[in-house]
Amino acid sequence: MFNTIARPMGSRGGSGAMFDTIAKHYDRLNRLISLGFDRRWRKAAVNALTLPPEARLLDIATGTASFALEIARRHPHCHIAGIDPSDGMLRIAQTKVRAAKHPAPRIELLRGAAEALPVAAQTLDAVTVSFGVRNFPNRARGLSEIHRTLKEGGQLVILELCMPHGHFLSSFACRYVRRIIPLVGRLWARRAPYQYLTQSMNAFPPETDFAQELHQAGFRVHAQRAFMWGTCHLFVAEAIHAAK
C-alpha cells in the first residue's frame, strides 16, 4: 500500500533498543506520568491535521501506535504507515492495530528510523511525530528526511515535551518532571528510561529555537501551541520545496 523503498538503516536508530525494555509498560506509564493529559494533547494534534481524501500519512516514532490509531479513527480514508526502530514497541502496536474496533484501520507498521525513511521523495501528504523528535539522534537529518518525503505543502504535525518555562507555574511542572517522573518510572519499570525522559526534555531546545530548526529544514511553521505551562508543545508546519 505504501510502496516503501529499501534504504540502509545503519543502527536501529537512537533510543529504539531502550524502548524495547519499557514497551509493555509504556502506554500505562505514559498515561500515569502525563496525568492522562497525553490523550488530550494527541487529540489537539489530530485536530490540527487537514488531510485531502485518501491522504498518505507517515507517523514517525509511532511506538505503540496510539497516535496512529487516533488518526485512523478520525480520518478513516487516510492511508497510514507508522515507523519506529523498536521491535518491542512495534509488537504492541501490531496487537493494538489488529484489535482496533473501528472499521479496518489501514495502518502499516514499518521498522526504521527518521534519519533514513524508506519512502520515495515528495510522496506523502502528511507526517506526524508525537513525543518522538526528542529521540532522534540526528534531529537535523531526521527533519531533512521528513522534508524530502513530503509533497509541496505537505503537513508536518509535531507534539513534543520540553522543560517547562515561561509561566508562573512552570517551576512546579519542572519539579514534577525532574523528581516525580524518574521516581514513578523506577517504581513501575526501570530507572534508566525515565531518567532518559527527563534528560532528553532538558536537552530539547526551547520552542522558538525548534521552530527555527524547522524553518532551516525547509518548513513554514503555521501554528504553535503550548500545553500545561509549556510542558508539551504542538508545532504545525508545511513543507516548502520551491525555496530550497
Site for ligand SAM contains 61 (CB under 6 A) = yes
Site for ligand SAM contains 118 (CB under 6 A) = no
Q: Give the β-pairing of 219-227 and 124-130.
A: unpaired
* DSSP bridge partners of 32: none
Site for ligand SAM contains 34 (CB under 6 A) = no
Shortest Å distance, C-beta 31 to ligand SAM: 10
Site for ligand SAM contains 131 (CB under 6 A) = yes
The span from the first CA to the last CA of the chain, in angstroms, equals 29
CA dist 211 to 158, 178, 214, Å?
Answer: 11, 25, 5
CA dist 79 to 76, 127, 174, 184, Å?
Answer: 8, 12, 38, 37
Shortest Å distance, C-beta 204 to ligand SAM: 12
Site for ligand SAM contains 231 (CB under 6 A) = no
Burial class (CB in 10 A: 0-12, 13-18, 19+), 142: buried
**Residues numbered 73-102 forming contacts with ligand SAM, rule: CB under 6 A:** 84-86, 89
Shortest Å distance, C-beta 17 to ligand SAM: 8
Site for ligand SAM contains 136 (CB under 6 A) = yes
Contacts of the segment 191-199: beta carbons below 8 A, 24+ positions apart: 192/18, 193/18, 193/19, 193/21, 193/22, 194/29, 194/33, 196/15, 196/18, 197/161
Shortest Å distance, C-beta 242 to ligand SAM: 27
Binder among 2, 15, 207, 235 for ligand SAM (CB under 6 A): 15
Binder among 114, 124, 201, 236 for ligand SAM (CB under 6 A): 114
Residues making contact with ligand SAM (CB under 6 A): 13-16, 19, 30, 60-63, 66-67, 84-86, 89, 113-115, 130-132, 135-137
